C-alpha cells in the first residue's frame, strides 16, 4: 500500500536549456504517515508532489503506487487511478469563486457522474468535520484564507483517497488556522492515509504530528 519513487529524475526543456527539477530521488511513503517536503522555492517540491500523484511522469526512474508502476500506464488509466486513490490540494487551491463551497467539494465526483444525494451528504460530512458545515452554501469568494484552505482539503477528501498530497497547506493562513489544518492531517494520518505535504513554513516543519521531514535542495534529498 506504499508510494515509492525509485531514482526518479524529471527534466524540462526551457528553450535551449535543460532544467532538472528532480535529480535522482528515491523515497517510500507508508500508510499512517505525515511526511513533509521542506526546502526553498525552486527546490523541486511541487514537481515531486506531481510525480507522486501521477500528475506528471518522470524522465527516468519509476513511480509505484500500491505496488503498481504508473510510469507506463496510458493517460486515461493514470487519470482513473488519480481520481480513485489520490487527493490533491494545490497551492492556488483552485476553488471556483462563483460556486458554493459544497459544489466546489463535489467537483472531483463529476467525471464519475456520482452527484446524487449520497454524494452531497458525503461532501457535507467532510465540511462539517473540517468546521465548515454552516458555510456549505456560501460562495467560495466570500471565504477567508483559512476557510478556503480547509474547503480545498474537503474537496480532496470527498473521494476518500488513500494518498493525500498538499502543496503549501499552511501558506497564507494565521497560526490558529495552520494548527487546525495540522490537527486534521494528524487525524487522517492516524486513519491510515499516506500524506505528503510540501512547505517552506517552519510552523509545519516543527509540528510534533509530522512523521518525517525530507529536505530538498536543487531537486535532491539532502536530509
CATH superfamily of 27-55+74-221: P-loop containing nucleotide triphosphate hydrolases (3.40.50.300)
pLDDT at 142 over 90: yes
Cα distance between residue 49 and residue 131, in whole Å:
27
Whether residue 175 is predicted with pLDDT greater than 90 in this model: the reply is: no
**What pLDDT score does 173 carry?**
84
Is residue 48's pLDDT more than 90?
yes
Grid cell at residue 181 = 489544518
- For 212, the 3-state DSSP assignment is strand
What's residue 192's pLDDT?
A: 95
Q: What is the pLDDT of residues 154-163, one digit of tens each?
A: 999 999 999 9
Q: What is the pLDDT of residue 201?
A: 87
Structural contact between residues 172 and 202, judged by C-beta atoms closer than 8 angstroms: no
- Is pLDDT above 80 for 111? no
pTM, to two decimals: 0.91
Report how far residue 191's alpha carbon sits from residue 188's, in angstroms, rounded to the nearest whole number.
5
**Share above pLDDT 70 across residues of the chain, in percent, rounded to a whole number:** 99
3-class DSSP assignment, residue 117? helix
Please provide the average confidence, as pLDDT, over all residues in the chain. 90
Amino acid at each position: 500500500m506504499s508510494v515509492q519513487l525509485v531514482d526518479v529524475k524529471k527534466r524540462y526543456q526551457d528553450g535551449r536549456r535543460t532544467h532538472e527539477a528532480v535529480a535522482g530521488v528515491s523515497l517510500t511513503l507508508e500508510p499512517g504517515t505525515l511526511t513533509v517536503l521542506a526546502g526553498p522555492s525552486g527546490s523541486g517540491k511541487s514537481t515531486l508532489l506531481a510525480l507522486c500523484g501521477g500528475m506528471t511522469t518522470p524522465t527516468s526512474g519509476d513511480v509505484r503506487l500500491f505496488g503498481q508502476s504508473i510510469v507506463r500506464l496510458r493517460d486515461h488509466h493514470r487519470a482513473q487511478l488519480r481520481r480513485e486513490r489520490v487527493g490533491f490540494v494545490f497551492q492556488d487551491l483552485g476553488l471556483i469563486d462563483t460556486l458554493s463551497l459544497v459544489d466546489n467539494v463535489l467537483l472531483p465526483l463529476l467525471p464519475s457522474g456520482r452527484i446524487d444525494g449520497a454524494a452531497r451528504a458525503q461532501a457535507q460530512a467532510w465540511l462539517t468535520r473540517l468546521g465548515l458545515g454552516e458555510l456549505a452554501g456560501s460562495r467560495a469568494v466570500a471565504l477567508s484564507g483559512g476557510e478556503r484552505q480547509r474547503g480545498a482539503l474537503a474537496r480532496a477528501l470527498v473521494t476518500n483517497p488513500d494518498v493525500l498530497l498538499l502543496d503549501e497547506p499552511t501558506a497564507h493562513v494565521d497560526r490558529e488556522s495552520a494548527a487546525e489544518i495540522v490537527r486534521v492531517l494528524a487525524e487522517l494520518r492516524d486513519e491510515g492515509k499516506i500524506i505528503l505535504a510540501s512547505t517552506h513554513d517552519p510552523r509545519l516543519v516543527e509540528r510534533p504530528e509530522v512523521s518525517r521531514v525530507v529536505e530538498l535542495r536543487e531537486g535532491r534529498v539532502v536530509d
